[in-house]
Structure 1
Amino acid sequence: MLVWSKVISVDEKSFVEERFLSMAQTNAVIKRLSGSQKLQVEVYLENEKEAQRLKKELGGKVNKLEYKNWAKINASSNRPLIKIRDKILITDNSDSKELKKIKIRYPKKIVISIPAALAFGTGDHATTSTCLRMLVDIAKDHQKKKKQWSLCDIGLGTGILPITASLMGAFKVEGFDFDPEAIVIAKRNMVINSIDGINIYEQDLFDWSPKKGKTWDVITANIFANVLNPNLKKIWSLVSQNGHLLLSGILKEHHDSILKNAKSNGLPIPELHCKGKWVSFKFNNC
């Protein structure tokens, strides 16, 4: 595996995120450098030609990364705690002693450990944090009504959404990703967070065909519009009555195409959440 890396300014962050949308497969991590206003972007790739193309176009450097060194490298991250509503705290610390200290310090919070990794979704990106807030609100409503609920996450990345759902009371949780490395990372994060009841598997959304009659109370899809649009009708058909579809990972310029597609397939008018250049949708099936 190869890693392309470059130190960038905060102002360049949006450009870097959008730049990666054009790549066939990108595993990007953006970290704030300790004691600095600078950020370091790292992109992990199997394809040397793609890595060298990034270096030629954007500068930076390319290094070879041994698989066995991931955890050690990512453990050096020093990201501040991320707060989601009044319920969730996300840390990138995976040390059991440090996690225990955080849980003691915040006894009323659900503490989730998601180390910076090769998969997308550590909680600090606008798309992930918005999806988490919507998910937490739904979970709290189910808890208040003492209702059981299920979740399927499409494009699970680090597994942060299924892990959050499980810790907030979902009785049946599953998620899939087309990237085998994301599966490895999500399963590792389940172990770190002492969770063993999530069904995680490798799957391409375009080939996904659940059993007839199977539905979920909540479906989350933090994926790009070019993948979402061709599959939206299928995804919506799998949302239970009175259930919810949460869509994120969508740039504002793709907002109209999603709404037009949703309307043509009979979806209701969604709740809209905007953050920076990103937009998220919540469709309620009621």
Structure 2
Amino acid sequence: MPWIQIKLNATAETAEAIGDMLMDDAGALSVTFLDAKDTPVFEPMPGETRLWGETDIVALYDAETDMDAVMSILKASTLLVEGFAHKIEQLEDKDWERAWMDNFKPMRFGQRLWVCPSWCDAPDPDAVNIMLDPGLAFGTGTHPTTSLCLEWLDGLDLNGKTVIDFGCGSGILSLAALLLGAKKVIGIDIDPQALQASKDNAERNGVSDRLELFLPKDQPENLQAEVVVANILAGPLRELSPVIKSLMAPQGKLAMSGVLEAQAESVADCYRDELAVNEIIVKEEWCRITAEKA
């Protein structure tokens, strides 16, 4: 079916509230946040004001939606400045699922780990195989950021350890940790669809009994783990650094990605006050930052 999407720019302070408004008040079917510095999604039209915030918001609607009504809701909001930049466009009506399935093939990460589409046979039945169907959530292993995190997990001894997957998406990193021996994984994501995708993939791989999933507002207090992985974006990694550091148990290990090489030092600097930051690893302009807690 055809779709319409609207793109807006927001500041770090307003992005989540605007996203909630688009979903709750303006009827969006889904809302996606992009790092505006990494992935500029539009140029403002004459007379429009770009907020030059850190986050671009993309909201998806059924093609029959009255977008004038949506715009009326946005223009009445105090979260956006008058004449704010926006772009409304129709998406091509094509079989996106089939196109995606045709390009997603089994992939190996590190020495032990394979990620395989749920509709394929595992190339090495004796390896650690993640059977994955990402559904509506990000994370197949094809992006360098996910690949970097999978390779890091493959190199750890996770036996008996608790892992926190901060921004779990499809659950690919959670599944990898569990299949590599973790005692328990706690997945956290702001998107309920991501939690559902993680749950479905965990059931498909027979590890749902060791995976706990939470929205940030519902996660347990004083939560900590020996291993924390956060594959999100540079802006949230900087802004949420106190939260992410608090999730690490003493002598805990942390891996972060979703960071471009030019952003790596500014992200790492937000963690050096409490953590020992290791060498930053670069893959296709994207980075993995790892650190340890004393």
TM over 0.5: same fold?
yes
1:285 maps to amino acid: K
Number of the residue aligned with 1:128? 146
By how many angstroms is 1:2 displaced?
A: 6.3
By how many angstroms is 1:191 displaced?
A: 1.9
Number of the residue aligned with 1:23? 56
5 Å-filtered alignment, 1:44-83, equals 45-46=60-61, 53=87, 55=89, 61-63=91-93, 73=98, 76-83=101-108
Whole-angstrom CA distance in 2 between matches of 1:251 and 1:192: 33
Matched, 1:284 2:284: no
Number of the residue aligned with 1:191? 203
Whole-angstrom CA distance in 1 between matches of 2:105 and 2:88: 29
Number of the residue aligned with 2:268? 259
By how many angstroms is 1:189 displaced?
A: 1.1
By how many angstroms is 1:121 displaced?
A: 0.9
Q: Considering fraction of residues, name the structure with more helix.
A: 1
Number of the residue aligned with 2:254? 245
What's the C-alpha RMSD, in Å, of the aligned pairs? 3.2
Number of the residue aligned with 2:214? 201
Equivalent residue pairs, number: 230
By how many angstroms is 1:61 displaced?
A: 3.2
1:115 to 133, 143, 157: 133
The change in CA–CA distance for 1:268 and 1:195 in structure 2 (over 3 A counts) is same
Unaligned runs of 5+ in 1: 6-14, 27-44
Whole-angstrom CA distance in 2 between matches of 1:180 and 1:209: 13
Whole-angstrom CA distance in 2 between matches of 1:54 and 1:134: 39
The change in CA–CA distance for 1:209 and 1:177 in structure 2 (over 3 A counts) is closer
Instruction: For residue 288 of structure 2, give the secondary structure of its aligned residue in structure 1.
Output: strand
1:211 to 221, 234, 239: 221
1:90 maps to amino acid: V
* Contact 1:87/1:108 (<8 A) preserved: no
* Contact 2:264/2:289 (<8 A) preserved: no
Whole-angstrom CA distance in 2 between matches of 1:136 and 1:269: 19
Residue-by-residue CA offset, 1:65-122 (whole Å, 9 max, x unaligned): 9xxx99x657843422110112111112x24xx43xx2xx513311112235321111
After TM superposition, the score normalised by the length of structure 1 is 0.70
Whole-angstrom CA distance in 1 between matches of 2:98 and 2:262: 35
Whole-angstrom CA distance in 2 between matches of 1:262 and 1:2: 44
Whole-angstrom CA distance in 2 between matches of 1:132 and 1:186: 16
Instruction: For residue 268 of structure 1, give the secondary structure of its aligned residue in structure 2.
Output: strand
Whole-angstrom CA distance in 1 between matches of 2:194 and 2:2: 16
1:224 to 223, 227, 233: 233
Whole-angstrom CA distance in 1 between matches of 2:227 and 2:58: 27
Number of the residue aligned with 1:270? 278
